[in-house]
Amino acid sequence: MLRFIYVITMNLHRIWMIPTMGYYSRHPEKYSEQFRYEYDRHCINLMKKRGRIKTIAYGTANLPKEDGYVMFANHQGKYDALGIMDTHDKPCSIVMDADRSYIPLVKQFIDLVEGKRIKLNNLRQAAGIIKEVSEEVKLGRKFIIFPSGGYRHRNGNYVDPFKAGCFKSAMKAKAPIVPVAIVDSWKVFDLWSLRRVVTYVIYLKPMTYSEYKGMKSTEVSDIIYKRICDAVSCAEAGKFELAVKQ
């Protein structure tokens, strides 16, 4: 939390960027998806520089070259989505807990990439959001989803259980499912420290439609969960090249 307060305080002179982000998000007819995504990434880089944060990506070659897909990642804290966006060159969006999405700056980040706000305690609304994501993925969009539905401040790389329903967003679109292992992301805002911190984003081999065709979402969820857990374990042991192969 100390780093979060420090980053916000040290960037107060850039507070004008918040209404600018809001303006860009309200005028997609003027500002392309790529432009708005890069503006988000620009803000992330400013935060990383001031906060002494470095994010290293492995397995970017695993990312599908064309069409839409959904990235499913373990969830550790506020920095997780930013770490993925920082290392993911093509524009992508995010599905986020509605209750946390309207905080100043967070709101602008989400709006810039046309993110989806999901109400975790409203099954009907959640199902509608999953359907929206599926339809947009068919059109070539890319999304980040945290299938655990949230995170706990454990100060560690524990992988919370996944909610199988989230995977229907990709399965209904017959799109690739990209497992993403997040490692040490919790250190960014949970450690009461300003020491330099390094986080890791590991993109695993996608699970294609031909692989999960005929499976239930619970089966897919179990497979992806195990692969991410194995990748996290390898990364903690410093075996990043092996982690990518999980």
pLDDT in tens, 29-47: 999 999 999 999 999 999 9
The residues spanned by each domain of the chain are 2-244
The model's pTM is: 0.94
Between 191 and 203, where is the model more confident? 203
Dihedral of CA atoms 88, 201, 70, 212 in degrees, nearest 10, equals: 140
Residue spans of beta strands (DSSP E) within 66-206: 69-73, 93-97, 116-118, 142-145, 177-183, 197-203
Check: CB of residue 113 under 8 Å from CB of residue 37. yes
Distance from C-alpha of 214 to C-alpha of 225, rounded to nearest angstrom: 19
* Average of per-residue pLDDT across 118-133: 91
Q: Which two tokens stand for residue 230?
A: 């194995």
Q: May I ask the CATH class of domain 2-244?
A: alpha beta
pLDDT per residue as tens digits for the range 99-120 = 888 888 899 999 999 999 999 8
The DSSP output letter for 238 is T
Taking residue 167's Cβ as centre, other Cβ atoms within 10 Å add up to 27
Element (H, E) at 55: strand 53-58
